[in-house]
């Protein structure tokens, strides 16, 4: 058994004076937490960017697309024809509903992947700044 030493004791024990002692010299201890700094930083960054994309930028983007409208024949083919390409008979000019979700605002898997990747970028930048600061390198302003 590693770390166990047995030596004869001096008097009085029931087992003939043998004392067992466990040595902790060769072992190391590590504090285990359920949620470390890394997990908290990445979760907050991803959650913040996903919320910003869903409730901040998505309504703005939808308004801008609606305001711009679909491209018309006057833009590309015939300046006197204000019809959209779909109205003019081009069936492939209609917007595709490939990634339909049941989200009321229409937040798709593409939006989740895009905003989630931005959340990871922000999280990694925060972790890099935190670790550099822990090492004594000043990367963020200290006013």
Query: Structure pTM?
Result: 0.61
Ranges of beta strands (E only) in 1-143 are 4-8, 18-22
pLDDT for 100-133, tens place per residue? Answer: 788 888 888 889 999 999 999 999 999 998 888 8
pLDDT for 62-111, tens place per residue? Answer: 899 888 877 777 766 777 777 877 777 777 777 777 777 888 888 888 89
| Mean per-residue pLDDT, 47-55 | 95
**Spans of all domains in the chain:** 37-69+99-134
With a pLDDT cut of 90, the percent of the chain lying above it is 29
Angle between helices 109-134 and 37-51 (to 10 degrees): 140
Element spanning 122, H or E: helix 109-134
- Distance (Å, whole) CA 109 – CA 25: 53
32: left (phi over 0), alpha (psi -120 to 50) or beta: beta
Structure tokens at 7: 């030596």
With a pLDDT cut of 70, the percent of the chain lying above it is 71
- Checking if the pLDDT of 11 tops 60, the result is no
- Contact, 62 vs 106, CB < 8 A? yes
């Amino acid at each position: 058994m590693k770390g166990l030493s047995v030596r004869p004791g001096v008097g009085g024990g029931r087992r003939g004076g043998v004392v067992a002692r466990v040595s902790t010299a060769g072992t190391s201890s590590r504090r285990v937490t359920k949620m470390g700094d890394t997990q908290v930083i990445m979760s907050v960054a991803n959650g913040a960017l996903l919320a910003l994309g869903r409730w901040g930028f998505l309504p703005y983007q939808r308004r801008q697309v609606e305001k711009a409208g679909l491209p018309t024949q006057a833009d590309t083919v015939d300046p006197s024809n204000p019809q959209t390409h779909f109205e003019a008979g081009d069936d492939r000019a209609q917007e595709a509903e490939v990634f339909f979700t049941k989200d009321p605002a229409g937040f798709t898997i593409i939006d989740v992947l895009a905003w989630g990747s931005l959340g990871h970028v922000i999280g990694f930048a925060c972790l890099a700044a935190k670790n550099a600061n822990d090492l004594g390198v000043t990367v963020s302003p200290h006013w």
